[in-house]
Amino acid sequence: MEVSRLRLLFLIATAAVSLQGCGLFSRGDDAAPEAVPASGSTAVTGEPADQQPIIDPQVERREIRRPQIDTEDFEIGAYYGILGIEDFESHAVYGARLAYHLNEDFFLEATLGQSKAGRTSYENLSGQSELLTDDERDYTYYALSAGWNVLPGEVFVGKNRSYNSAFYLVAGIGSTNFAGDDRFTVSGGFGYRVLPADWIAVHFDVRDHVYDIDLLGEKKIVNNLEAHLGLSVFF
C-alpha cells in the first residue's frame, strides 16, 4: 500500500509538470495561458535570466502627495491696557492671548493677564491701616472664552488701501487670583480687530470681569472693567 501511494504522488507530480496547459493544474489567476510561448524544457512560469522580460512596464510611478497647505487658524499675541479693580484703583494690565478660529464666525480664546491693585479710599483716609499685604495686591487672571465675529468688514484708509476688520463679542469663564484667593470669574466684552496684513492683527478690547468677593465682611459682586490694545500674529 505504501509503495502505490508514493507512486500515485509521483504520477500526480509528473502530470502537474507536463500538463501545464491543463485546466486542472493551471492556477486560477493564470488568465491567459495561450499568450505564453511554448519554450521547450524551460519552465514557463519563470523568466530565463538572459532574456528580456515579456512585459516591461514603462509606467512612471505616480507621485501621490498630500497637499501641503499652510493653515493659519491659531492666533497668538500680547496686550497692554488699563484695569479698574473695584475699590482698588485702576492700574496697568498686561497679558497674553491665544485664539483658535473654528470658522469665519466663531473662535475660542484663552487669555492670561496680570495687574496690581492699588489702595482703597478707606486705606488712604485712615492713614496706616492696610487691608491687604503687598503680595495680596497682585492681581492675575485667566479666562477661557468663546468669541463671535459679529460684524466682519473692511476699513478704508485713504483711496487705495483697505484692511480687513471685525467687531466681535466675547464671553467666558475663568479664575481671578486676588487678595490671596482664587475666585471664579465670568468675563465678557467686545473687541475690534484690524488686520494690517493677513498674518497680523491689531486688537482693541473691552472686558468686564465679574466675581464675588467677601473681603470687607459681606459678600458682594464686583465688576472690574478692562480696556486694552493688543497685537497678535496668525500661525
Partner 1 sequence: MLRLVRLLALAGLFLAAVAQADEALQRVLVADPFIELHTGPGRGFPVFHVVERGREVVIVKRRTDWFKVRTSQEVEGWVPRAQMTATLVPEGTPLDLHEPTRGNYMSRRWQGGVMAGDYAGASLISVFGGYSFSDNLSIELTANHILGEFSNGFSATLGLMHVFAPEWRLSPYFVLGTGIINIEPKTTLVRSDGSTDQLGYVGGGLQFYLTRRFMLRSEYRNNVIFTNRDDNEEVDEWKYLGFAFFF
Q: Which residue's CB is nearer to partner 1, number 43 or number 144?
A: 144
Are the CB atoms for 109 and 146 separated by under 8 Å? yes
Residues 54-83, one symbol each (x = binds partner 1 by CB under 8 A, - = not), give --------xx-xxxxxxxxx----------
Please name the residues in contact with 115: beta carbons below 8 A apart, sequence gap of 6 or more: 83, 85, 91, 92, 93, 94, 139, 140
CA 184/CA 83 separation, integer angstroms: 18
CA 124/CA 135 separation, integer angstroms: 18
- Collapsed DSSP state (helix, strand, coil) of residue 4: helix
Q: Which of 203, 174, 207, 202 is nearest to 190 (CA)?
A: 207
Q: Give the residue, chosen from 17, 153, 197, 233, that forms a contact with partner 1 under the rule CB under 8 A.
A: 153
Are the CB atoms for 214 and 59 separated by under 8 Å? no
Q: Please tell me whether residue 8 binds partner 1 under the rule CB under 8 A.
A: no
Q: Give the residue, chosen from 2, 29, 60, 104, that forms a contact with partner 1 under the rule CB under 8 A.
A: 104
34 φ, ψ (degrees, to nearest 5): -70, -20
Are the CB atoms for 143 and 79 separated by under 8 Å? no
Closest CB 209 distance from partner 1, rounded Å: 14
Residues 116-145, one symbol each (x = binds partner 1 by CB under 8 A, - = not), give ----------------------------x-
Q: Please tell me whether residue 198 binds partner 1 under the rule CB under 8 A.
A: yes
Q: Which residue's CB is nearer to partner 1, number 81 or number 232?
A: 232
Largest Cα–Cα distance in the chain?
A: 121
Q: Which residue's CB is nearer to partner 1, number 114 or number 165?
A: 165
Q: Please tell me whether residue 173 binds partner 1 under the rule CB under 8 A.
A: yes
Q: How far apart are the first and last CA of the chain?
A: 82
Q: Please tell me whether residue 103 binds partner 1 under the rule CB under 8 A.
A: yes
Contact segment (CB under 8 A) with partner 1 among 37-45, 50-58, 79-87, 149-157 equals 149-157
Q: Give the residue, chosen from 79, 139, 178, 234, that forms a contact with partner 1 under the rule CB under 8 A.
A: 234
- Chain residues binding partner 1 by CB under 8 A are 62-63, 65-73, 101-104, 108, 144, 146, 149, 152-154, 162, 164, 173-175, 179-184, 198, 212, 214-215, 234
